[in-house]
Amino acid sequence: MIGELVERWHRGWITADGLTSEYRDRYLVVHVNRPHRVFEWIATDDAETAAMARIVAASREPNWLSVPTHAPHKVVEELEAAGLVVARPDETFMQRVLAGHPAPEPPAGYVVEVTRSPVIGVRVLADGEVAASGLMAVVGRDAVAHRIETAEAHRRRGLGSVVMGALTKEAVKDGAETGLLFASTEGVHLYVKLGWEKISDLVVAQNAVSA
């Protein structure tokens, strides 16, 4: 089941970020096309970690490998044995039923701006300055959150919750029922507070090739 959820998440991510993807020998590969990350390989089955890690380690350009797993310590060992550098050992793959998602109003002095391109974009503004922002792509019945960020000067004011609430409210209008996201170590606390649940751990590694 986790493999299906990973594939569904990936479809939302590439839509939100305007990327493309393909399967290479059954392995899911996203064309990120950035200097520090040309391709990102995504494991839909952590049993394939060692094989995928060897491919990524042998790549001549900067490549990443993301592995959703219920056995993160084993995955880290396999990644390092292949010669990869584990950059993010403790991220989290999460989901939530979107019905009833909290949607708090912004604090005094902040205004919410919603755009569609068709990806849903939310910005929380303070005197014209972007205090927090995020994206959400709806693909079928899934909504994938991406780039949820709060500026340093505006943190600890609940703006992350405001962004997520506004995004999910719009996504539900588009027929989305399930939310999916990859959460950073720092972001997990926000999502748990909003009722998101852990699907699995997530380990992210990269090869030793510099841009």
CA distance 138 to 171: 6
pTM of the model: 0.95
Q: Decide: helix, strand or coil at residue 23.
A: strand
97: Cβ contacts below 8 Å, ≥ 6 apart: 177, 178, 179
Q: Measured between alpha carbons, how far is 124 from 157 in angstroms, rounded to an integer?
A: 12
Sequence-ordered list of residues with C-beta below 8 angstroms from that of 164, at least 6 positions apart, any chain: 101, 102, 134, 145, 148, 190, 191, 194
Name all domains of the chain by residue range, CATH numbers in brackets.
2-91+202-206 (no CATH), 99-176 (3.40.630)
| Residues 23-53 pLDDT 10s | 998 999 999 999 999 999 999 999 999 999 9
Tell me what pLDDT residue 95 has.
98
> pLDDT 10s digit of each residue in the chain, 211 long?
799 999 999 999 999 999 999 999 899 999 999 999 999 999 999 999 999 999 999 999 999 999 999 999 999 999 999 999 999 999 999 999 999 999 999 999 999 999 999 999 999 999 999 999 999 999 999 999 999 999 999 999 999 999 999 999 999 999 999 999 999 999 999 999 999 999 999 999 999 887 6
